[in-house]
Structure 1
Amino acid sequence: MLMTAPDRHPLVPATPTAMPADAVFRGEVVSSLTRIGRADWDACFPGEPEAYDYLLSVEKAGIAGFEWCYAVVRSGDRLVAAMPGFLSQYALETTLDPGRLRDVIGRIRHIWPKFLTFPLACLGSPCTETGSPGFHPDVPEALRPAAFETLLTAFEAFARQRKSVLGALKDVPQPLDPRLAEIIAAHGYAELGGMPTAWMDIDFASMEDYFARLSAGTRKDMRRKLKVRDKVRVEICSDAGALLPRIMELYHDTRTRSEWQFEELTPAYFEGILKNMPGRSFCTLYFVDDQLLAANLMVHDGAVLVDKFFCMDAEKGRPYNLYYLSWFTNIEYCLTHGLKRYQSGQAYYRNKVRLGSQLTANAMYFRHSNALVQRLLQRVAPYLAADDTDGTAA
C-alpha cells in the first residue's frame, strides 16, 4: 500500500526569528510537563493536536506501568526542542501475533516473571499517534541536528541513571530527516518497522463528493451498511458523566479483542481529555433503543481530527455497522466544522485504505546496552514488528 507523508496544518504558523549559528544547547529530562510552559511546549509542535494539554491529561491519568518524562533542549532560557518519553517494563512479545510462540513465552513467564522483559526508556508516547521530535520555529534547519543530538544524549544519560537497558524511539514518521536518522544510527539504534498511521484529507465539499471518490463496489457496500442508520441515535458529548462506567465496559471489551495490548487506559484518561481540552475534544456516542453500544473519543486542533479510540459492544453493535457509521459521522463532523484532515490512526488498514485513507509509515528504533543482546534483537526484530495491513474492522 502507498506510504506517503502528510503535511501539517498549523492553525497559526509561527514566524521564525533569527537564532545565532553559535547557539549553545543544553539538554535535560524533567519528570512532569508542569515544569514546562504550555506556550513553550506547543511552539515546538505546531499543527499537533496531541500537544501540551493532551500529554498532561495522559500524565495525570494514572495509567499503570508507566513513568512519564520529557526530554527538552534549551538555548539560554528558551525551549528549542522537545520530545515526550516514558519508562516501562517492556515485554518483548508485545507485538507478536497471537500464536504458539506467544503462548510459550507466556507459560515461561509464569515460572520466570522477567523472561524477555526489559527496563525500557523510550522517546515518544504509547498514547500518541506518532513520536516526532519537536523544534521551535526559531531553530533553523542547519541547527536542528545539533539540537536533536543534545536531546538524545540527555535522554540516554537519564536512561542510564534509571538503569534502563533498552532504549527506543517510538512511531517516528517516515521519511525522517536524513541528518536525524544518521544521529540515531550513530548512537547504535537499529530500525524496526512500526504500524503506519492512516489519514485522509478533507478536500471535498460534501458527503456526495466523498462517495463519488469511492469505488463502485465500496459505494454499494457502504450504502447497504448505512441502511440501519435510522435505528441508531448519535450524540456528541463533552462530558461522559454517568455514562463513563459504560464507556469503560466498551473500552475493556474492545481492548480484550485487540491483538496488541501495551497501555491500559483509565477512566481518568477519558475524563481528563474531555475536561482539559474544551472545544478540542469530544466523545461521540451511539445508542440503540437507549442502550449505549459504542463510543468514539476524538481530539482536534481546529484543522486535524484525530480518532483516539473507538470502542464497541461487539455482539450487539456489529449488526448496526457502528464502525462504518462512526467513520462517516467523523467525516461529516470535519465537513461541518471546517477540519481539513481526518486521522484515523493505526490498525484496520484494509478498510481505511478502501475508504480513501493514505498511510504514513512509522519506524521504531531500539538499542540494548549489551552489544550481544542487541545483535540478537536485531536478528529477531523482523518477527517482532507489529503489522495489521490486512486487518479488518470490528
Structure 2
Amino acid sequence: MRYINQLEPDGLIENFLSHPPQNFKAWLTESNVPVFSAKFDLLTTTDLDFQKKLQKIPLYNKWRKLLQPHTCFVGTTVSEYALLTNDLDAVQLAEQIKEQYSANYPFLIVKDIPQDSPLQNQLANDYSQQFIQALKKNGFIEVEGQALAWVPVDYSSTDDYLSRLSASRRKDFRRKLKHRDKLDIQVMHSGDDYFFEADVLDYYYQLYLNVYEQSEVHFDLLTKDFFVTLLQDKQTKATIVTYYHQQELIGYNICFIVNGMLIDKYIGLKYPAARDFNLYFVSWFYNLEYAREHRLSCYIAGWTDPEVKASLGAKFTFTKHMVYVRNPLLRAILRKISNRFESDRSWRDAHIETENNKRECNE
C-alpha cells in the first residue's frame, strides 16, 4: 500500500519488512503501519557532555544495560518518515498503537513524524500534527527528532549553486571538485545483470560495511539479504551512481527517483581512496547536477552529518519522536531530561545563532 507521507518506492519498504536489519524484527500493525522491535541504546542521540556525566555515576558499567531496553518502534529505518495511513483517523491510530504495544515493551517510540515538511503535501502534514497531539493525550513524551537535509533544484548550474555559498566555501569546494577529473563516474540501475554476480554483491556490501563501521552511530545494520534484494530489484530500479579510479570501484550512492525527487539512501566507500578523492563532496555535487539534468524538484540528502551538509548549502526539515515509557518513574524522569536526547535540535539552535551573528556582522 502507499502511505500518505511515503517518499520512497514501495519495494524498499517491502524489502525492510522481509529483510529487517540485523537482530531486528519487523511487521505490520492491524492498520498496516510498519513497526519493528530492537534493542535500543537510549544514549544514541544524547550529547557527549551528558554521556560523560552519566559515566561518572558509580557502578555505571553495571547499570548501563538498563539504558538498552528492548524497544518497539513505529516506523522503519529505510523511510525518511514514520509511514502513516489515514485509513484510521489520527486519534484512533494513536490509541490503537498504545493499546497493542505499550504493555509488552518498556519503551514504545513513534519515530520521525514530520513537522510541516516541505517534502509532503498539506494533507500529510495536517495528519502528522493531529497524530502528534493524539499521542501526547495518550501519555507519549515529545522529543525533537533529526534534521533531514534537502536541496531545492532552483539553480541553473553548479557555478550558480556555488555562487550562493561563502567565498571561503566556494574556494574549498572548487579545490575538492578537481578530483572529479580523475574519476570515472557511471550510472547503473538495480536489476542490471551486473548485480547478479556473487563477487559484485560481496564487494558492494563490503563497501557499505566500511561506512557503517566508521560511523559514530551504530543502530541499524542492513543485512546481506537486504542488500542483494535491493541491488537486484528490477521493479524499483534504484539509481546507482558509481565512482571508479583506474578501473577500481571506490564508492557508490544508491538513490531513488520518486515523485520528481532524488532521494539519496545508501553510500558505500573504499578507504582511504574515498577520502583521498574527496568522494563525499564530489558525489554531493554530482547528485545536484543529476537532479537538475533530470528536471527533478529537489535532492533529499538524508539525516547524517548536518554540519557538513549545512556547509554544502542544504536546507533542513525536522521531525518529532513520540516516546511512551511504561514505567511511571522513568516516564517522569524522561519528561524532565527529554532535551538531552535532542542533539540535532541543539545543533540547529547553534547553527541559527551562528548564521544570525554572521548576518549582523555583514550588515
The Cα shift of 1:383 comes to 2.2
Q: TM-score, normalised by structure 2?
A: 0.81
Mapped to 2, the partners of 1:233 and 1:128 lie a distance apart of 30
Mapped to 1, the partners of 2:78 and 2:39 lie a distance apart of 16
User: Is 1:149 matched with 2:91?
Assistant: yes
Q: Pick closer, same or farther for the CA change 1:361–1:261 going to 2, 3 Å.
A: same
Residue 102 of structure 2 contacts residue 108 of structure 2 at CA under 8 Å; is this kept in 1?
A: no
Bigger mean CA offset, 294-303 vs 170-179 = 170-179
Mapped to 2, the partners of 1:104 and 1:376 lie a distance apart of 19
Mapped to 2, the partners of 1:165 and 1:120 lie a distance apart of 7
The structure with the greater share of residues assigned to helix is 2
Amino acid corresponding to residue 164 of structure 1 in structure 2: Y
1:168 matched to which residue of 2? 109
The Cα shift of 1:155 comes to 2.1
Q: TM-score, normalised by structure 1?
A: 0.75
Amino acid corresponding to residue 29 of structure 2 in structure 1: A
2:121 matched to which residue of 1? none
Residue 97 of structure 1 contacts residue 259 of structure 1 at CA under 8 Å; is this kept in 2?
A: no
1:36 matched to which residue of 2? none
The Cα shift of 1:104 comes to 7.4
Amino acid corresponding to residue 169 of structure 1 in structure 2: V
Mapped to 2, the partners of 1:62 and 1:252 lie a distance apart of 16
The Cα shift of 1:364 comes to 0.9
Deviations 1:235-278 (A, max 9, x none): 22224443222222222222122121111012222222233364
Residue 238 of structure 1 contacts residue 278 of structure 1 at CA under 8 Å; is this kept in 2?
A: no
Amino acid corresponding to residue 45 of structure 1 in structure 2: I
1:13 matched to which residue of 2? none
Deviations 1:31-76 (A, max 9, x none): xxxxxxxxxx21x337x33242110011222422222122354xxx
2:334 matched to which residue of 1? 377
SS in 2 for 1:95: coil
Q: Pick closer, same or farther for the CA change 1:113–1:206 going to 2, 3 Å.
A: closer
Q: What are the within-5 Å matches in structure 2 for residues 1-394 of structure 1?
A: 41-42=1-2, 44-45=3-4, 48-71=6-29, 73=31, 83-97=33-47, 100=52, 114-131=65-82, 133-135=84-86, 147-160=89-102, 163-175=104-116, 177=126, 178-239=129-190, 240=195, 241=197, 242-276=199-233, 278=235, 280-387=237-344, 389=347
The Cα shift of 1:288 comes to 1.5
How many residues align structurally? Answer: 329
The Cα shift of 1:376 comes to 1.5
Mapped to 2, the partners of 1:148 and 1:299 lie a distance apart of 29
SS in 2 for 1:213: coil
Mapped to 1, the partners of 2:205 and 2:114 lie a distance apart of 30
Q: Pick closer, same or farther for the CA change 1:135–1:263 going to 2, 3 Å.
A: same
Residue 285 of structure 1 contacts residue 296 of structure 1 at CA under 8 Å; is this kept in 2?
A: yes
Residue 9 of structure 2 contacts residue 256 of structure 2 at CA under 8 Å; is this kept in 1?
A: no
Q: Pick closer, same or farther for the CA change 1:156–1:231 going to 2, 3 Å.
A: same
Amino acid corresponding to residue 39 of structure 2 in structure 1: Q
Instruction: Give percent identity, aligned residues only.
Output: 25
Amino acid corresponding to residue 45 of structure 2 in structure 1: T
The Cα shift of 1:210 comes to 2.4
The CA RMSD over aligned residues, in Å, is 2.8
Amino acid corresponding to residue 294 of structure 2 in structure 1: H
Amino acid corresponding to residue 26 of structure 2 in structure 1: W
The Cα shift of 1:301 comes to 1.0
SS in 1 for 2:29: strand
Amino acid corresponding to residue 275 of structure 1 in structure 2: Q
